[in-house]
Structure 1
């Protein structure tokens, strides 16, 4: 037994000596590599950070479905926790998030947007003509009527109401629809002064386009804007200065469109009066309207507005709500989201102010006032009757618009290429609101 134990012990000693001999014969370089591998593995296991996937958004919470008069599919919007009747829901359509974003140097971004908006930036520079904006505007509104009167219009001297339009595009795009918008203004406001703030229309070609109105005795003119003068002493001045220096990224939305969004607000704040888009047909007098803006859509369940629009606005000079609009534009400008600086802007501000006393003279009119048809259904206003059922609907809708609407927005982006068919609602409205009453209805 002892001999067996002795043999086993001797064998183990021999094995130990063999392993030690093998270990000492291993090259030092191989041992070093093995050691580095073990240390690396240990470090990775200690410092590895596990990032969980984001949780799936919950469908619960303070949400409700927006019911639009447009008949669009329901959209998700945030609900207000406040019970104040003047606070309403506002939804913005955001572009889809990208899977990965590569941040570019600020200098490269400035170069990119400057190249894209070079032509527009040139029109924003002051010129000898635009520097006379303040003088010409004052003369137009308060000067002698001799420049605008003749035997035909001697009784129309003076501005009973001021209208402002903006045209930042080229003069070639100012067509029949835009001219008919002017016709409709003067149809119901013969004593109005209509100022078109535009560099392209402040030209010899612009004079030709406006001459027929002047020959009829209507007071209308186009004046190149002096942005330094118009924006002075407001936050618009700060924003505009940053834009020209390249500190504001204009974004993918047309810079001209956003300049118009801001310009209309400051013009009303500095002068007071009515602003209308050039694709709006006026249907009756605005004289009795003060400090109003129109709802575009309403919630069918509550009856409250769900979105406002800035295509028609009527305000007194220096109204505090206009100052809030201007501040919102300058502080929250985003050139990559359509409507963020326009319709959604006025909706956001009016939602926040609630029923505060300083804005108690402000009114939101229902959609029928200025937007009797939604952009998604506007083509129906251009189509003539196809059968007895459609003919009956056209007559009924036309009578309601005549009875309840102050204007109709044509949503040019969605109706520009539509023809005005005989017997359609637009055709009937044109015949009711024309001044020259030529073949303009078909030309539109």
Structure 2
């Protein structure tokens, strides 16, 4: 290269490199907030089949989950819910750990609800989340938000969320802070207040929704096991008397030492008082409150939770729940059980179909 040409070319190359570096610094950074999961070597009661081969794990043609995306927005719960279009159905999920992050399985609950209920608003309420929570940059969450515009992330401030309800003068924060089960009890309270204030459906984050929930009655509870009522799934119209009584019951009888007292047991007490429905029996004198049989949302009760993780029984289990609206996998029991991507475990098969973006966004285990 002659000296005169080099005088022009070398500065041009340096200029291009400087521009590239500057532009690159402006791009959003790709951060993998949920790292590839390792097997849980301590869990041995359910042994899935051998990990699938590379060919078996070929993912469907979903978009590249590693694309850089801007952080998700988190709205203010009182502002957004106070001005929402009440002609649309509302489905609520709650994250009450104050961590501002959820797992792939919990993202699956949101995605499956959004997929089968495009005409409903799907809300994840984050109770007192930290500033700039990890969830806003989680790639699986961002992908679900991009493909389902009916999903919203909302921050709920515990200092103001209970104003205008029977819990307004009750020190929720102090009771929760001294509770033996603070995350569960915060959620127990928040789901009742949410349905009382806004109406809609509440679901635990360990559901996989299999069909539209549009066929549910406006006011309902569900059996979970035999004739036992639960609070893991329930629905009420805004201001319904039963939701009002549940809020009063929590304010008057809250017990921070008992896991079930403020949840399933509270539902049973209120149902007995309002509707003459003794615990574990089927009588119901409340004409506007329907009690769903457990096959609608709890086709397999908690004693049989391992069936969702049994690779040999997967197709049989999937067939047995095909008429259900959803399935509950009892995370408090099953969180340590591995789900291998591409396996025949029932949870794996259901997730592939009903929450593919949350599922295939994982590395080896869902």
Q: Same fold (TM over 0.5)?
A: yes
Change in CA separation of 1:202 and 1:443 when aligned onto 2, cut-off 3 Å = farther
Change in CA separation of 1:423 and 1:133 when aligned onto 2, cut-off 3 Å = closer
Aligned to 1:438: 360
| Bigger proportion of residues as helix | 1
Query: Rg: which structure is higher?
Result: 1
The correspondence for 1:160, drawn from 83, 88, 92, is 88
Aligned to 1:215: 146
Change in CA separation of 1:434 and 1:203 when aligned onto 2, cut-off 3 Å = same
Aligned to 2:336: 417
| Equivalent residues of 2:250, 2:262 under 8 A apart | yes
The correspondence for 1:234, drawn from 165, 168, 172, is 165
Aligned to 1:284: 211
**Shift, 1:274, TM fit:** 1.1
Q: C-alpha distance in 2, partners of 1:204/1:213? A: 17
**Shift, 1:326, TM fit:** 0.8
| Equivalent residues of 1:228, 1:237 under 8 A apart | no
Is structure 2 residue 201 aligned with structure 1 residue 274? yes
**Shift, 1:205, TM fit:** 3.0
Report the count of equivalent residues.
281
- Superposed CA offset, 1:153-187 (max 9, x none): xxxxx973211111122447511111111111112
| Equivalent residues of 2:75, 2:153 under 8 A apart | no
| Equivalent residues of 1:420, 1:441 under 8 A apart | no
Aligned to 2:321: 401
Is structure 2 residue 266 aligned with structure 1 residue 345? yes
Aligned to 1:145: none
Query: Unaligned stretches of 5+ in structure 2?
Result: 1-73, 278-283
Aligned to 1:182: 110
Report the TM-score, using the length of structure 2 for normalisation.
Answer: 0.69
The correspondence for 1:375, drawn from 302, 305, 314, is 302
- Superposed CA offset, 1:136-163 (max 9, x none): 3345x34xxxxxxxxxxxxxxx973211
Does 1 or 2 have the higher relative contact order (CA < 8 Å, sep 6+)?
A: 2
**Shift, 1:228, TM fit:** 4.5
Change in CA separation of 1:159 and 1:440 when aligned onto 2, cut-off 3 Å = farther
Q: Secondary structure at the match of 2:230?
A: strand
Q: C-alpha distance in 1, partners of 2:157/2:100? A: 22
Query: Unaligned stretches of 5+ in structure 1?
Result: 1-129, 143-157, 299-304, 386-390
Q: Secondary structure at the match of 1:236?
A: coil
Change in CA separation of 1:215 and 1:132 when aligned onto 2, cut-off 3 Å = closer
Aligned to 2:6: none
**Shift, 1:402, TM fit:** 0.8
Change in CA separation of 1:369 and 1:237 when aligned onto 2, cut-off 3 Å = same
Aligned to 1:125: none
Change in CA separation of 1:288 and 1:441 when aligned onto 2, cut-off 3 Å = farther
**Shift, 1:273, TM fit:** 0.9
Cα RMSD of the aligned pairs, angstroms, is: 2.9
The correspondence for 1:205, drawn from 109, 131, 134, is 134
**Shift, 1:441, TM fit:** 9.4
| Equivalent residues of 1:269, 1:322 under 8 A apart | yes
